[in-house]
Structures are given as C-alpha cells and as structure tokens.
Structure 1
Amino acid sequence: MSSVKIPMPLRVPELAPSLGRVLVPRRVAEPWVPIDDIREALATRVLELGGEARAAAEREDRERVLETVSRRAWLAAWEQAVRRAADRVTHALDGRIERAARRVRMPRRRWRRRLLSPSEKRAIAARLTTGGEPFVAALDALDAVATRVRDATVLDKGAHGEWQEALRSAARRLEAAWLALEAVVAEEERRWSPELESLERWRPSLWPLLILWTPVAAALVWLGLALGGYVPAPAWLATRLGF
C-alpha cells in the first residue's frame, strides 16, 4: 500500500528585516540626484510580493506562492529600479550640462553636442548594475531551492527551511545591490565633474570678432587720417568731401 504524500505548507518569511537600508536608509549626506523615491518603490514592491505570496499560501496555492516570489519577480523589481535610477542620473547630468553652458552663453548648437550620447547613457546604466551580481547569484540559488521545495512533503522540512533562508538571502543581497548602486550614482557625479568644469571655463573665441572688426577698424583709422590731411585722400573721396 503506497503512502500518501502530504505537500509541505509554504510559509513566506517576513522580508522587511532583511531589506535593511533599502527600507530605512542611513546616510551622512543625501545623494546629489534624488533617488529615494526609487528606493522606496523598490522596497514597497518587494514587500508587496511577500504579502501576495503569503495570501497565496493561505489559499494553499503553492504554484502562486513560488511564482510570486520567484527569481523572475525579484529581478523585474530590481531591473526597473536600475532603469529609473539610470534615467534619473542621465537627466540630471544633461540638466547640469545645459545650465553650465547657458551660464557662459555657449551657442545652443555647440552645447547640445555636449549632452550625453545614447552610448554614454547605456554605459551609465551598465555601471549601475555592477553591484547587483551577488543579488543575481542569490536569485539563482533561490530558483534552485524553489525547484526542490515545489514537490516537498511534510517530511522535507529541510527544503522548506532552505527556501525561506534563500528568500531572506535575496533580500539581504538586494540591500547590498542598492547600496552599491548609490555608490555608483555618487561616482557618476565625480566622473562627470571635469566635463562640467570645462564648460564653466569656456569662453567665446575672439577670432571671429577680430576677423570681422579688424578691416572695419583699419578703414575707420584710414578715413580719420584722410580727413585730417595726414594721408592723401583718393580723388573720389576728395571730390565728394569738397577737398
């Protein structure tokens, strides 16, 4: 007679304590570009995923529980936060470039060429993701554990405990990834400081003015000398002036 396998009830742990500074930041100074709303949205999304998974667990909907807090769901929340942060940084840098150029009266066509190119924007976005590698590794581990816990029975308490710890680990790695992102955001300001300083030092070239006004000035000097009798005036000028 075959024994009946009773599925292990899934219990989603509280994720807030593991989110740490994603939930409650501790900083000496505020970021140069406002990203707290992005951080708050990321924390809110993770807590929402946990709440949705717990609701599914109460309904004993195992597949829904695992899908709600799956690798895909965590990664989607993180990637959206990175995209928003990258857009915020590039927009802020473009704004600084434009304001600096306008202060020194740089021609519009010229300063628009100084704005970030698509490749530079992609590079910023790529740098913002560099601190997320441990987080992605934690999600890979979560995915592997979720595969085992999907068919776990009440006798497989170890698999259930590993899954809960994998969720907490993902939250901790998300905190580390966010702190790394904040560090890269701060570094981007330093990275672009030389470009902004060069804009502040820019001055219009005097060569166009010299080329334009030198012949005019020479003509005026010659005319003054001619009128004063210091140099002979041409016949047409003498006739016109009654010399």
Structure 2
Amino acid sequence: MKLLMPLRVPELAPSLGRVIVPRRLLDPWVPLDDIREELATRVLELGGEGRSAAARESDGDTRARVLEITGRGAWAAAWDHAVRRAGARVADALDAEITRTARTVRLPRRRLRRHLLSNSEKRAIVARLGTGGGPFVAALDELEAAAARAGDASVLEKDAHATWQEALRTVARRLEAAWLALEAEVDAERERWNSEIEALAAWRPARWPILVVWIPLAALLVWLGLILGGYVSAPAWLASRLGF
C-alpha cells in the first residue's frame, strides 16, 4: 500500500508582502485599502482552511479537499472579485467627478447622461485593471500542475510536496505583484479620463440664444415700456391697437 506524503499548507502571509502591509508614498485617488484588506483576508483564510483540512486528513477525499481549498479556483475567485470591486469603485468615482464638474458648469442633465460611463466602458475598466494579473495566472497554472503531482506523492516523493508548497508561495508573491499593477492601473485610469473631464470643465452654454433672442426681446420690452410711459411716441399702427 502506498503511503502518501501528508500535505502541509505553508504560511502565506510573508509572501503576500504589500497586499498585507502597503508601502506607498501617496494613496490612490480612489480608496482601495478595504478591497486590498479583503483580498489579503481571503488568501489567509484559504490558507487556514487548507491547514485545518490537512490536520483532519484521513482519506483521499480529504486530501483532495485540501488541494481544492488552496487550488487555482480559490485564488482566481479571490483575485477576480477584487478586480471587479476595484473596477466598480473607479467607475463610480469617475461618474461622481463627471457629475460634480457638470454641475459646476451647469451642464444640462440630458447632456450629462451622455458623458457618464456606459456599461461597456465600465467593463473595459475592469479588464484594464486585471491586465497586471498575467504572471499571477501563469503561477496558477504551475500550482495546478504541482498540486496534481503532490496529490499522489508518497512519503518518498518529498520533492513533489516541496514543489507544491513553493508553488503556493509563488502564487502569493505573484498576487502581490498583480495588486501593485492594479494600483498603478487605477492611477493610469484617472489620467486616461483627465482630458474628457477637463473638456467638460471648459464647457460653457452657447451664447447665440442670448444674442438672437433675449437681447432683441429685451430691447422690445424696453421700447414698449417707454411708449406706455409716454416717453416715446407710438407708431400709428401700434397707437391704433393700443387705443392711444
């Protein structure tokens, strides 16, 4: 009977680095710390759940459960959730800034709606924020392969177990890099929309209605006022209508 190597989930916190303890000079223009903390918490939880399951390891099903808890799907779900939340946060912040700018210049509401982000633009933001996750996805591929070998490794195949543990640490390090890339992309997203927001801030109402309508109308009202006040003689056609 083959004696399987007990699975030991390594401590992941040291490999997460700045996902747990950020070291930055300036905060992102959109608050992201709660999303970062949620991501770090989820990763630490899956590590803890994996260790708990490994401690109860008694059969193949439990062993498979350990690999599933710490496997590709759990990591990918945590990352995808963080990217979607960050994308929604950025889109909401941009919409809020566009709305504030539009109100400052008194842009009509019907025109404001054309400047707010569409659903396709919001999806594009999420996609751009996730572009830094390429190395993370590659590390997940390696983890998946290492987990397949570790799942069937005997006590004599310590290298397979060590490779799986190192693959977990590598995924955590790549997650840190992906998060830092996301923060950089958030700043780039603000720059990407700067020109549109600045153009909106420079908007002014058209002046031709004032020149074409309101000035002649005001002159007409002043003229009628002078006539009714007796300061100016009314034309014959107007005098007959007014009964002068």
TM-score calculated relative to the size of structure 2: 0.92
Question: What 5-or-longer segments of structure 2 have no aligned partner?
Answer: none
Q: Give distance in 1, aligned partners of 2:236 and 2:133.
A: 81
Q: Which runs of 4+ in 1 moved over 6 A?
A: none
Q: Give distance in 1, aligned partners of 2:168 and 2:187.
A: 29
**Which is worse superposed, 213-222 or 203-212?**
213-222
Q: Which residue of 1 is the match for residue 155 of structure 2?
A: 154
**Which is worse superposed, 17-26 or 188-197?**
188-197
Q: Give distance in 1, aligned partners of 2:156 and 2:212.
A: 91
Change (3 A) 1:19 1:220: same
Q: Which residue of 2 is the match for residue 49 of structure 1?
A: 46
Q: Which residue of 2 is the match for residue 212 of structure 1?
A: 213
User: C-alpha deviations, 1:68-118, integer Å up to 9, x for none?
Assistant: 000001000000000000000000000000011111111111112100011
Q: Which residue of 2 is the match for residue 138 of structure 1?
A: 139
Aligned residues: CA RMSD? 1.7
Amino acid at match of 1:235: W
Change (3 A) 1:160 1:213: same
Alignment identity in percent?
Answer: 64
**Which residue of the other structure, out of 55, 58, 68, is the alignment partner of 2:55?**
58
**Which is worse superposed, 58-67 or 153-162?**
58-67
Amino acid at match of 2:239: L
Shift of 1:201: 1.2
Amino acid at match of 2:53: A
Q: Which residue of 2 is the match for residue 228 of structure 1?
A: 232
**Which is worse superposed, 14-23 or 104-113?**
104-113
Change (3 A) 1:239 1:50: closer
Q: Which residue of 2 is the match for residue 196 of structure 1?
A: 197
Change (3 A) 1:198 1:154: same
Q: Which residue of 1 is the match for residue 24 of structure 2?
A: 27
**Paired residue secondary structure (2:17):** helix
**Which is worse superposed, 217-226 or 29-38?**
217-226
Q: Give distance in 2, aligned partners of 1:239 and 1:190.
A: 64
| Equivalent residues, number | 237
User: C-alpha deviations, 1:151-178, integer Å up to 9, x for none?
Assistant: 1100100100100000000000000000
**Paired residue secondary structure (1:204):** coil
TM-score calculated relative to the size of structure 1: 0.92
Q: Give distance in 2, aligned partners of 1:118 and 1:92.
A: 15
Q: Which residue of 1 is the match for residue 33 of structure 2?
A: 36
Q: Which residue of 2 is the match for residue 111 of structure 1?
A: 112
Q: Give distance in 1, aligned partners of 2:211 and 2:238.
A: 29
The reply on whether 1:237 has 2:214 as its aligned counterpart is no
Q: Give distance in 1, aligned partners of 2:211 and 2:89.
A: 43
**Paired residue secondary structure (1:105):** coil
Question: What 5-or-longer segments of structure 1 have no aligned partner?
Answer: none
**Paired residue secondary structure (1:113):** helix
Q: Give distance in 1, aligned partners of 2:38 and 2:206.
A: 48
Q: Give distance in 2, aligned partners of 1:44 and 1:14.
A: 13
Q: Which residue of 2 is the match for residue 123 of structure 1?
A: 124
Q: Give distance in 1, aligned partners of 2:95 and 2:193.
A: 11
Shift of 1:227: 5.5
